[in-house]
Structure 1
């Protein structure tokens, strides 16, 4: 794993180095091109003043050293252009040169500030990604008669780290699965999701009834946010407790036999049941508000139940899957695509969706994608 991370890091660093080298060569050639055009047009049109803008342009792409190199070429070209037109000693030449040097010094300072902020942004985003990956532990591939798989597809590097997460609790005779999506993103979303996942792990093993478990789960998440706010009233947690909400769905599935699925949906997208080529959304019969917005509901929890026959698969996912758009602006039709992959094992199913989603979008994803698939394997014939 460490070797793989090192290879990825080296590849990214090599890519950045090549881009910087290309920008340096291009910007150093620009004053030369202006000088050649100036010579071609004669004294009727002077392009030397445009060279003043080259160091300012370099500040957006190069380091201070790179800006200095571009400035040196620009100064040389200004001198040659002025000499060619017999204007050395002309008062405007000294003014032009002074302006060029002043712009260059400002550009070097701007380049240094830009570089520092880019490093801070990369460091912050990398830290958030590491924290998110540490929370997203792989699901077990088999639990009793069930096969499971999960997938996490990170967003484009320019996008913020998402607040999506999943969790699995193996209780021996049954398994409880959580998938959730926080309203906030970045570090705020990661902080919220850590509260959600920790509360799920505590409650899932503490309560035998799913209804009791979800009730305690909701109370734990709210309490964790409030306790964090009380401990640090001026911190990021204050906004979390006041503005944050999390959509979530918790399902409970017997690990053996053909028992039904129990579900508690807290404002999340309905899981999709894939059975013999049919895709059925497992809609809640009594919708409940997301975590953090309990005041909008009547305070009562409602558990839903659905059959889960042998050979069927349940897919849980975050809204970033169906909200992904192609270049025409159309949303990704997940439910329409799933019948073609109805016979696939969970791992192959989520990989098929991931690959198809990327092809459909045709560019980098703007948000993190999380999916969890559970398949009930065919039960042995006991007759």
Structure 2
């Protein structure tokens, strides 16, 4: 499990993978094998194992290093053969040819691996740039509310996924926050994230009230998904050729409106895990009074949307999160009991709270099965 975004990426524990250490290990292995063969005299002959050094080195060293090891290996084979008095035998050319061929193959394999690693690095850079463009860094404070966010990737090499968040201030001065989770994974989910965030940001500038915002987002999302499918394989919607991959996507989301004086918070929940209000020693899940469908499925439900309202006291923290938190499991298969664990966590500031949850998740789970987004908002003076 790793953290990305503003939290950076951990780099500890990788010193042993550095090139000098790996190259030194390969050279020492070659020297040890040659030494054992020379010392062993007629009793121990392991010169044939020498060719394993460049072959294994191709897994973790570059082509130039592997070439050097291959040349040294050929020299070691000749040295061992001379010591074994087999230079003039019929077996020596075969042994020498094997060392040369294995070395050449190892250099080629290392070159191919290095090229693919460079390609992967470029793809990762593009993915990280895409994530920064989609999930823009949130301000540390909006009005009377401080904000802290955290993105945790389930896979070490993952950079982007279907979890999303955004925050801003509408034309009336209210703070509006969105946290969501796209059904599915991969680039298709990332594209849906981009569509929804774009519509959400337009809604803030357009002054769409919270009661109408879920329907506004739902309709915009469904229109955009139809547009995406128009370039796909045959299927039909309104006599237009489409695929169903995008049309089957939906987004669970929770939208929060905090008044400009931060005294009240209004929540529209679209099939998403309930926010949690932390007030002193109390941990209060804010369950919606009326269950609503996720975004993208609005044509199956009601046109109006229920909004719940709560008081927000000075110092209260509102925690928003995606289902990767509560669906994380320990080695015995038990889900992470977020509300129960929060009762024993640091809750002084939003940043301290999120750091504590991350550390607790790391200790609780054997590894995340899904990406996680967490936002913590606190009313301050």
- Same-fold status (TM-score > 0.5): yes
1:335 pairs with 2:333:
no
- CA distance in 1 between counterparts of 2:247 and 2:120 reads 26
| Correspondence for 1:264 | 268
Distance change (3 Å), C-alpha of 1:315 and 1:89: same
Post-superposition shift, 1:303? 1.8
Quote the RMSD (CA, aligned, Å).
Answer: 3.3
1:252 pairs with 2:257:
yes
| Correspondence for 2:238 | none
The answer to which of 110-119 and 33-42 deviates more is 33-42
Post-superposition shift, 1:326? 5.4
| Correspondence for 1:21 | 20
The answer to which of 102-111 and 186-195 deviates more is 186-195
Once the two structures are superposed, residues 135-178 of structure 1 have per-residue CA deviations (whole angstroms, 9 ceiling, x without a partner) of: 33333444444333323345664345333221113123422210
Distance change (3 Å), C-alpha of 1:375 and 1:38: same
| Correspondence for 2:97 | 98
Return the match for 1:275 from 232, 256, 279.
Answer: 279
1:305 pairs with 2:304:
no
Q: What is the TM-score of this pair, normalised by structure 1?
A: 0.82
Post-superposition shift, 1:310? 0.9
Post-superposition shift, 1:180? 1.3
| Correspondence for 1:317 | 321
- CA distance in 2 between counterparts of 1:145 and 1:205 reads 20
- CA distance in 2 between counterparts of 1:78 and 1:243 reads 62
| Correspondence for 1:381 | none
- CA distance in 1 between counterparts of 2:17 and 2:353 reads 37
Once the two structures are superposed, residues 92-115 of structure 1 have per-residue CA deviations (whole angstroms, 9 ceiling, x without a partner) of: 111121122112222222111111
- CA distance in 2 between counterparts of 1:239 and 1:298 reads 20
- CA distance in 1 between counterparts of 2:17 and 2:380 reads 50
- CA distance in 2 between counterparts of 1:150 and 1:257 reads 19
- CA distance in 2 between counterparts of 1:76 and 1:242 reads 63
Once the two structures are superposed, residues 326-353 of structure 1 have per-residue CA deviations (whole angstroms, 9 ceiling, x without a partner) of: 5666544432232345752333333333
Post-superposition shift, 1:300? 4.6
Once the two structures are superposed, residues 210-243 of structure 1 have per-residue CA deviations (whole angstroms, 9 ceiling, x without a partner) of: 2322111111122223223325769xx9685155
Distance change (3 Å), C-alpha of 1:143 and 1:20: closer
- CA distance in 1 between counterparts of 2:28 and 2:184 reads 45
1:373 pairs with 2:376:
yes
| Correspondence for 1:30 | 29
The answer to which of 272-281 and 223-232 deviates more is 223-232
| Correspondence for 1:203 | 203
The answer to which of 336-345 and 77-86 deviates more is 336-345
Superposed, which structure 2 residues align to 1:49-198 within 5 Å? Answer: 49-153=48-152, 157-171=156-170, 172-185=172-185, 187-198=187-198
Residue aligned with 1:42, SS:
coil
- CA distance in 2 between counterparts of 1:257 and 1:46 reads 80
User: How many residues are aligned here?
Assistant: 364
Unaligned segments of structure 2, at least 5 residues: 235-241
1:288 pairs with 2:292:
yes
The answer to which of 338-347 and 69-78 deviates more is 338-347
Distance change (3 Å), C-alpha of 1:146 and 1:28: closer
Q: What is the TM-score of this pair, normalised by structure 2?
A: 0.82
Unaligned segments of structure 1, at least 5 residues: 379-383
